[in-house]
Structure 1
């Protein structure tokens, strides 16, 4: 019934009803507030990470001779590229999630999200999947560029998608927690410097597990970024340094744990309710 008809008949306008999931609200949060806002600044959000990663790989591979072997079946370029792609998409997902929440908190827009007919779980899903999509989009473009110049066999494309999705969702969750916790941009910068960057540098992007000194293997095996990179490298080239099942289990378990923490923070309104 239209508003005019409701006034004529004197009957109150019926409230909109939602099912178990507010799909419309979830789609708006995901598409408009997360993905479209990211694409609006594509030159900075996509072109910047893609260009810097390409330059980094080019300089690194040329400096260390990209044709030399890292293993019996991989060149240096083939070994490094999956790690750079995974780290880039994970960092973009982290940045996207954290920056969205910090911006919304500082602009007061987060109150509109909290007052919308969305449950805390739906808010977590909308923000995290939006940030993961942004990371996958950037990483996909980067991988396509590398595939033009570097021979990547793409041994198992489905496994590549699974580990890429797992890595982006995991770091999107990390970004959401950092965004909720951060009251200033300094907090975000500190988290990126002392959390994300060390995980990336100690991820096995530039060296294999075999080259780690005895007794220090735990630095890689306990790092979820290492397992995400190892999974993507195995899917693209067939080379693996650790158990893929262990890596998949760690990524899935941490993602669920961080999702539960993020849901609880939204439910409590921690640092987001004025």
Structure 2
């Protein structure tokens, strides 16, 4: 304390570690509060996907050579559900905080813009990995899933969830109402996931559609993660990792810059 009895102001280094951890913990606790409801819904939808595509339309499933339909489908469904959870857990809290007037408290905290992005996106990424992991464990109870390369699975799972978490954070910054959040989820996130090879191979679609799919970054995330399990891919692993890493870096820099200038979070 000084001579007047007041404690000196806390000094922060180049990184406010305590502040980043506090914001990260806040976001993670918010996910855990509703984890049962959210994860249960995605487990049910994953089961429905597997049921429809293997029982109702088995003749329409095309897989890579020597791979059973269920073994082909499960990694893609796990990946998509995990990615979607990462998007939701980054976008939803940000929109909520903006509408409830709590974003001002975060902007006034002694945190740099990149620290806010890092903490929020990090928690959303972990939420996506956790959701995907739960669905994978449950699916593995009924599907004899092989494991060709654990590092490949982890790398693609991490980059895929990070990509969608950053996309969710960007959506949360842009969305001023819930309908805008829903619009991005319906017209961008859902098509990117469904048209990424989750349920089919490139050989199952017309040549033009296959070429267009190669411009979908989610195709590389799902194809790479599936390859980590079954050992067979439709695109080189190095290409997929490079595409995802470059996009994650670009989106992080964009989120950082937009938050630094107060894009739609300051009056």
TM-score, normalising length: structure 2: 0.95
Shift of 1:43: 2.9
Highest Rg: 1 or 2?
1
Determine helix, strand or coil for the equivalent of 1:239. Answer: coil
Shift of 1:224: 0.9
User: Does 2:6 align with 1:19?
Assistant: no
User: Does 2:168 align with 1:214?
Assistant: no
User: Does 2:231 align with 1:247?
Assistant: no
Give me the whole-angstrom Cα distance separating, in 2, the residues matched to 1:117 and 1:247: 37
Partner of 1:50: 43
User: Does 2:147 align with 1:154?
Assistant: yes
Shift of 1:132: 0.6
Query: Quick one: structure 1 residues 187 and 215, their matched pair in 2 at CA, closer, same or farther if it must change by over 3 Å?
Result: same
Partner of 1:84: 77
The CA RMSD over aligned residues, in Å, is: 1.5
Give me the whole-angstrom Cα distance separating, in 2, the residues matched to 1:250 and 1:42: 30
Determine helix, strand or coil for the equivalent of 2:63. Answer: strand
- Superimposed CA distance per residue, residues 30-83 of structure 1 (whole angstroms, 9 cap, x where no aligned partner): 112x111011012322221122212221232222349x8723320111111111
- Superimposed CA distance per residue, residues 85-104 of structure 1 (whole angstroms, 9 cap, x where no aligned partner): 11101111111111010001
1:30 corresponds, among 24, 34, 41, to 24
Structure 1's unaligned 5+ residue stretches are none
Shift of 1:151: 1.3
How many residue pairs get aligned? The number is 266
Preserved contact between residue 180 and residue 272 of structure 1 (Cα < 8 Å): yes
User: Does 2:256 align with 1:263?
Assistant: yes
TM-score, normalising length: structure 1: 0.93
Determine helix, strand or coil for the equivalent of 1:135. Answer: helix
